[in-house]
Amino acid sequence: MNSFIISSNWQKSGIKDPDKMISKVFTHYPLSSYRMFIRDVVQYVLSFQKIDYHKKDLLHLFKMQEAAIIAASLINMEARKNPVIIKAVHLTQLDHFTIQEEEQAQWDDIPRTLSSDEVLNPYITLKYFFKHHNLKTWQMILKKLFHYSKTKKFAFQDSLLINPIATCDYLLKLTEALHLIYVREIFPAANIRPQCRAILKTEQPPVTKPDTFI
């Protein structure tokens, strides 16, 4: 577990721009990879079935997942409002869910765990996520999952992992919500996509972000 703590991005420099970090998270791996990773790790913790990841890849996925949680925490601290108006009629348009060109990859980006309200406004998910646990607790859960993914110790004896199915569901929901924010707001900012930009309400006012938040 120490190697994970020492090598974590936030331990070295901290995350000051959550949007840039979210962009980095989904540039490194597609949503489908994070979805598979979360389920594989929780399944391993429950059953000790072999987790088929190279050690460096596993460490990097944990680092990216932690970075996503920290970025989400910063956004939640800003009390950021949903700047994109999505109505039920828009839910048939793949542009609101994916930036992929290949058909199978597009369908892989469709949320699997979010409610209809969360799909329309993914910021709801961030609030629920941090009501369930605060940032430090979520970081500790990730570190414990990383630790247990390399050991034979019974994880369900750990109080933080007493309900691993719920933990998996919360992590999946947060990751899918952040991906929607990335597709609808962060990616269009660098690559103008008329379908999304046309429904932006207003530009977000500048927000002073803390230098440290742990």
Place of tokens 């540039």: 27
CA angle 23, 179, 59 (to 5 degrees): 65
Dihedral, CA of residue 3, residue 7, residue 4 and residue 30, to nearest 10: -140
For the chain, the domains span 2-197
Evaluate whether 65 touches 37 at the Cβ level (below 8 Å): yes
* Residue 137 CB coordination number (10 Å): 12
Residues 82, 123: Cα–Cα separation, whole Å: 7
Assign 3-class secondary structure to 13-71. Answer: CCCCCHHHHHHHHHHHCCHHHHHHHHHHHHHHHHHCCCCCCCHHHHHHHHHHHHHHHHH
pLDDT of the chain, 214 residues: tens digit per residue:
444 444 444 444 466 799 999 999 999 999 999 999 999 988 887 776 667 788 888 899 999 999 999 999 999 999 988 888 788 877 778 888 888 878 888 889 999 999 999 999 999 999 999 999 999 999 999 998 888 877 766 666 777 777 888 999 999 999 999 999 999 999 866 454 444 433 333 333 343 443 332 3
Cβ partners under 8 Å of residue 25, min gap 6: 64, 67, 68, 71, 178, 182
CA angle 126, 129, 134 (to 5 degrees): 110
**What's the predicted TM-score (pTM) here?**
0.79
pLDDT score for 8? 47
> How far apart, in Å, are the Cα atoms of 186 and each of 84, 175, 181?
11, 15, 7
> How far apart, in Å, are the Cα atoms of 96 and each of 30, 33, 144, 197?
16, 20, 34, 11
33: nearest Cα among 61, 4, 63: 61
